[in-house]
Structure 1
Amino acid sequence: MANSTASNKDVNEKRPYPPSYYKYREKNPTISIKLTKKTKEALDKARGKLSYSEFLKSIVATDGVFARFERQRAQLASERAALEKEKRELNKTEHFTIPCSSCGKPLLFDSQNEKFWNEKVKPLLKKAFSDEFIHEGDPEVSS
């Protein structure tokens, strides 16, 4: 074992490398990380038969996981914007349902047809509910 210390010392001393070594190291840097055993097991399971290098390259490649996530994020953002726009439009629409007096199935009334809404529906609603509802605490009006 005494020799192992001497050999470690020899390894740690600077030694001259050929220029190709430095060019290779510049183009292919080494990345070293520490993982917990559990994280390493998860990484090994995720990478399957790929080497660590191939797996990491596949993640950051133009068609890799991060690129796909970014495309999905952009698509979801545009869908969300469209849904929020639709929600704002729906919030502007006045609507309600009542049962049909003939068959009992619900009739949908909304303000999208403004002429029908303003000339037919609103006046009937005002007439139907004008005497029925008052503010809490207001004296009742007798007719």
Structure 2
Amino acid sequence: MTKINAFVYQQLPLPERAVSESKQDHKSTVQGHSFAQNLEEEFGKLPLKISKHARERIQERNIHISQNEWNLIHTKMQEAQKMGINDSLVLTKDAALVVNTPNQTVITAMGLDETNTRIFSNINGTIVINH
């Protein structure tokens, strides 16, 4: 685990032991998978890392970002890194994410409805995704 800006993150995909433990902790749905299990499976397919804090916020706030959007976010994070941007705010049509570009990590996430009165600090760039 690595600590960035007071947040601890773990690289995805999670080790099998952690995945199986988390699956045992969640109640199964009719399809045999809980929302949390499906979310963990989707995170395992991502080209970037998502901190534990961000995973919890995405789940709690019921934020949905498609695989195509994640791929675009990853591409834009790489471009931002080449421009010397270390910490960035990513705005999509549904969410605001704070990311660390050198580590290709999502630090936290919130729905756009929560961003109306927020001040984002410790960022030196913004990425806007209009999908």
> Where on the TM-score scale, by shorter chain, does this alignment land: which range?
under 0.3
**Which has the larger share of strand?**
2
Q: Which has the higher contact order (CA 8 A, sep 6+)?
A: 2
Higher Cα Rg: structure 1 or 2?
1
- Bigger helix fraction: 1
